[in-house]
Structure 1
């Protein structure tokens, strides 16, 4: 689905990236002339008396905070606009080319970033049943931003878009086809902007074109997902209809026998909502050991805590299974790459995930793995047949790049 934008003013090189959650708004203002960040901020606890806005301008500007009730997203975005205007970066600036919105679920119909109009909004709304926690908040952010500057192009960049290249045999669940089609049940995948960005940056790190490289990307944050990327195109990913499937996460179970849901209903008398709450918010690492912060889990492991050790072992065992599975899917792997908060910062996770896979050409150099370095880097020894890398993700830059490219595309 594509909406053709009007060509942007060539002097307008700035893009505001908005990520609207149910009670928060994260934002960054980027100048696409040099990819610099002009401002970064967060509004949190929207709708509470203890709402907070933290705004940091680039350069010499100091971080500013305001606290107090922010009743809704409209008030939150108005406050963001005021902070930007105070730095001469207001939403009415002629240098602002567009606003790029992170939208979690675009189904299989949105295969590229899309300029938002009424039809696009209706389709995002129709997808709410398969993304009830995310799409409503994304819609609120879009509508509020439209009201603040009706003439400014608004672009939706979907978490699912990168994964729409999956072949049907990877995207389909083995259930009745008519039931699946009637209710849009298939594997969509998420974290797509991160997987797209990191797979390209990994190819660059290897000195190759993305079309020449097969990469397994491990996006490991509080939410976690893996993808198999063949020549720049996703051919499989671990998350499915929702972000629950796949790897063990901070509070989500990841892969589980579907019959567990029926069992809990019959034996424990749990409702569907209660099981949903259990699997999404009370499982994963926090369900296993009470913590979802990998730093705290590692501290407990080093102190001999058995629950923390078991949680860590389950987490890394699942990672290893997906590396092996996606190695088989791809047939040839040029790199396994770790990204996001845990992937970029936890050397023990990276080491444990790769340990024992030497026959597949994978190994980690302990010194390189332990080194603290914020940039893209190889952590495998020189002799390794398959590169192991750490590549910091930048989802905001990816959204800004896709947004800017779309609004500056020549008219068809």
Structure 2
């Protein structure tokens, strides 16, 4: 799939714009009799009655897997800084599975391939889910057939997920036959680009519907040289993300520090992602109260990406925590000059002005409320901003 890197203070969310009728319904439900109606989900539909993981669960440790479902003597090989476990199951439907564990022996992804395809006739919930999703990509299987003037099977990738995971479903369309599921990928969000089902390794394991020949092996090729270092760096970046943002339910800033340090040491060819590794390192230091080290990391990030509003906002927040309010205000204003509608930086600027310029703080909080609008992710700060405006206005009247 298209490589996506998140440069904000939290992982990317899989949101959908609410349709017009839903917006009207939400306005109608502002009336008292609708006050108890829960807000609509921001996640795309993901319900499935096909249990592809069986006893396995993402975030499970390898030791937990060994005591539950992982059989002894199963094929295991290195996967960058972690390892992968490969198994083939002959019945009831032939399938191949790769279980990917990171350096901390945490299960971060599972790829399931049905080489001969799996009919979804018996899985109405999954069919209904896929029917609601827009295609993420359309492509050909065994496209070399085009050179022989033969018609290859076409495929559609559907992408969905839950709060911290991404699910990919690859559907094969064969002329004159029912559509079939040929591959599914379940992965923790930060690892998606490393475990994309579009990788030739996984696609080539799918058998040609005409010849039913498997042309792949179960092991992942190991990268050497600069490509190998890049892969290791990206792995460590993803490891840092799931640790810093609690993808597995618990923040682990110590692991995040180790991971981002390693990502930087291995090297990342994309300057934006290298800057982001320093940025994330700064966030991890800040979460541990190590503000001096956070400042250094964020300054290194700004040396690479001096015009990043997000990094400037983080830097300003650390400066404010250190009591350096004039410099913090200057930094927030630089961020807003680059991105005037940046609600989080606007809120932080208002907070920084509170102690010595209450009138300006009120103005900035009011601007924040306009920018935040109905964004559910800002609901806590919206309530806080309203209470602070009242307090500042009361103080001004005394």
Choose 1 or 2 for highest CA Rg: 2
Is TM-score (shorter-chain normalized) higher than 0.5? no
Q: Which has the higher helix share?
A: 2
**Greater relative contact order: 1 or 2 (C-alpha under 8 angstroms, separation 6 or more)?**
1
Give the TM-score taking structure 1 as reference length.
Answer: 0.26
